Structure formats: structure tokens, C-alpha cells
Amino acid sequence: MGLDDRKLAVLRAIVEDYVSTQEPVGSKALVERHQLGVSPATVRNDMAVLEEEGYIRQPHTSAGRVPTDRGYRLFVDRLSRVKPLSPAERRAIERFLVGAVDLDDVVHRTVRLLAQLTRQVAVVQYPSLARSSVRHLELVPISTTRLMLVMIADTGRVEQRLVELPGPVLADDVTDLRRLINEKLAGARLSETPPLVQALVEEAPTDLRPTMTTLATVLLETLVERHEERIALAGTANLTRGGLLDFQGSLRPILEALEEEVVLLKLIGETEPSTTRVLIGDENEFDNLRAASVVSTGYGPGATILGGMGVLGPTRMDYPGNIATVRAVARYVGELLAQN
């Protein structure tokens, strides 16, 4: 396809103007605001080509041009220049995250920070259990036939679960069980626990066998099967910025999608290490989000990825800015986690 440098410059100018003004941009306004060095007529010819190639389109015959999803894609891939964060923003990130007292706190602060900086909806996944290790498993007697099982992961995440035992157990038994379980599981990656749990049951002393079997079931459920992912969300009010123009007038599908953990996880949770993923409009697999874009990345200490985070907004968003912000926040949170 014959897209010379000037045509690309025109596309870039259109995207930038449209993102900031939210109005279809015409040839005249374009040459006035950017130093393209050519006349409106020439720009019009370029626009005709860009439209033919599917990068921009006209909402109405007598209106200016608007980028298509494909246009944004080209812009993101080849035209946008990295936008370094302002010192003020860097300071905001530090100030906001310093002083977090536990993992919950870190995640909540992060998601609010992202929402505030990007003025979009922010999503942060808790460190995935699948990629964590067991630091400690605690058994707390609640009654003679009930235990509270508390699992502490190396990421600081804590999961708990009430266990109904088949019969009463003594305090000493609980101590034994606790020791056996920790000897076997402490330090193991969660994804590797199933065979270990199996071994626990087999190696348990006969009198503890039934109790251990019950515990094993719950352990497997808690560690592997059940709701292993958690998510924090913030900034939904930002969806209403830009009036009703974005999202073609209805927030409904977006809000519905945001209530589905599964959807959010797919959006931000499957990022490869150290890359930033951008999903634009209908590149998204969910129909509800065909009018939205997502910028996401993974985070974690060093090169390990423990979870994802990102922002969601209208396709008409400031991609370079949001990409830079998401990256910076993710890196900072990674460093923070590495300290623990």
C-alpha cells in the first residue's frame, strides 16, 4: 500500500487532533494546526487514500474524518512517539504508593492511582496464586470439629477457608497436622501442589488419615480450583467523561463487562512479560467492548510476572500517554513487591 511519509503524518495529525478535540477533523483545520507544509487540497487527496485503505472514515458526507480502529492500530504501532512522564507524575506515583501497609493496600492504591493518572477505568489483578509459592499454611481451631485454614503466599496474598472436619480433633493433632502440611507444602509453587497434597494423605498416620483427607480436598480447592484470581477496579466514573459521544451513547455494555471478573482477567491477565499490550476496539474478543480500548501490562518483581494491570477507555484515548503511565506504574509496583 502506498503510504508515504506525509500520508502517515496526516494520519498522525488526525488521530492527535481527534483525540484532543473529540470532533471529526477537516483538511483545513489540519493544515492550520500542524506544520504539514502543504495545502488543504493536498491533504484532502491524502485523506481520500487513507480512507480507501481503511484508516479513517467520514461519519457523514459533509463532516471531517475520524480514525478507524485500523487507523489507531497503525498509529500505535508506528506513529506514536513515547511520551515520557512528567516529573509531577513520577512524584505522584511515588507519593501514592509509599506507605502501603499490606498487599490489599498496595493493590487498592495502585488501581486508584492508575485511574487518576490516566483518567480512565483502571483494573489491577492481584498477584496470581498460580504463579506464587506457599509461604505458610496455618490451621486455627475454631471448634473441635472446625478449622480455619489460612494460606499465606510469598506475594503477601492471604486466602482463608473454613473446614468442617469429619470428627473432633485434639489440639495436639492440629499441631501435628500443621507441621506435616508445612513440611510438605511450604515453599512449593502452587501449581505444583496437587501431587504433594496427594502424598500428604498417603503418608499421614492412620489416626489422622480421615482429617487429612478432608483437609486435602479443601486445600486443592483453595489452592488450585476456586476463585484463584482477584481483581480491583476503579475510575468507572471516568467512563462518563466525553459526554455520550464515546461508547455511542450507552455505557450499559461496558458496565456489564466490567462486572465480569472473567472478562477483566482475559483483558489484562494474559500479558506476556515486559510488553505492553494494546487492544483497540473490535480487536477485542468481547462484543460488549467493541467501542473500547485496553492498555495492559504485566507486573511483578524483576522479570517474573505475577499479574496484570491496565486501563480501559474509549478507542479515542491518549494511547502514548496511557501506555507510558501503565508501564511506569507497573514497574514501580514491581519494585515495591521485590522489596518484600
Partner DNA sequence: GACTGGCACTCGTTACAGTCGAGTGCCAGG
Partner DNA sequence: CCTGGCACTCGACTGTAACGAGTGCCAGTC
Nearer to DNA, 21 or 217 (CB): 21
Phi, psi of 303 (to 5 degrees): -95, -10
Sole window of 3-11, 71-79, 100-108, 276-284 interacting with a copy of itself (rule: CB under 8 A): 100-108
C-alpha cell at 262: 472473567
- Of the candidate spans 44-52, 78-86, 128-136, 324-332, the one that interacts with DNA by CB under 7 A turns out to be 44-52
Q: Which of 182, 196, 176, 128 has the alpha carbon at shortest distance from 150?
A: 182
Among 101, 171, 287, 302, the residue binding a copy of itself under the rule CB under 8 A is 101
**Interacting partner of 258 out of a copy of itself, DNA, none (Cβ under 5 to 8 A depending on kind):** a copy of itself
C-alpha cell recorded at residue 111: 488501581
Could you give the C-alpha distances from 117 to 48, 156, 247, 275, in angstroms and in order? 36, 26, 21, 20
Q: How far apart are CA 92 and CA 126, in angstroms?
A: 22
Using alpha carbons only, give the angle 299, 227, 178 rounded to the nearest 5 degrees.
95
Exposure string for 267-286, b = 16+ CB within 10 A, e = fewer = bbbebeeeebbbbbbbbbeb
44 binds, among DNA, a copy of itself, none (CB under 5 to 8 A by kind): DNA
- x/- mask, a copy of itself, residues 27-46, rule CB under 8 A, reads --------------------
Instruction: Say whether residue 21 binds DNA (CB under 7 A).
Output: no
As a whole number of angstroms, the distance between CA 84 and CA 69 comes to: 25
Candidate list 40, 141, 194, 210; residue touching DNA; CB under 7 A: 40
Distance of closest approach, residue 115 Cβ to DNA, in angstroms: 31
* Selected binder of a copy of itself within 220, 251, 328, 336 (CB under 8 A): 251
Partner touching 179 among DNA, a copy of itself, none, CB below 5 to 8 Å by kind: none
Q: Which of residues 60-89 bind DNA (CB under 7 A)?
A: 60-65
Distances from the Cα of 324 to the Cα of 26, 58, 221, angstroms: 29, 30, 38
| Shortest Å distance, C-beta 310 to a copy of itself | 18
**In DSSP terms, which residues pair with 122 in a beta bridge?**
234, 311
Other Cβ atoms closer than 10 A to 165: 19
Q: Does 220 bind a copy of itself (CB under 8 A)?
A: no
Residue 1 interacting with a copy of itself (CB under 8 A): no
Residue with cell 516529573: 87
239 part of the interface to a copy of itself, by CB under 8 A: yes
340 binds a copy of itself (CB under 8 A): yes
In the complex, which residues of this chain contact a copy of itself (CB under 8 A)? 101-102, 105, 135-136, 138, 140-142, 148, 150, 152, 156, 158, 160-162, 221, 226-227, 234-237, 239-240, 244, 250-252, 255-256, 258-259, 340
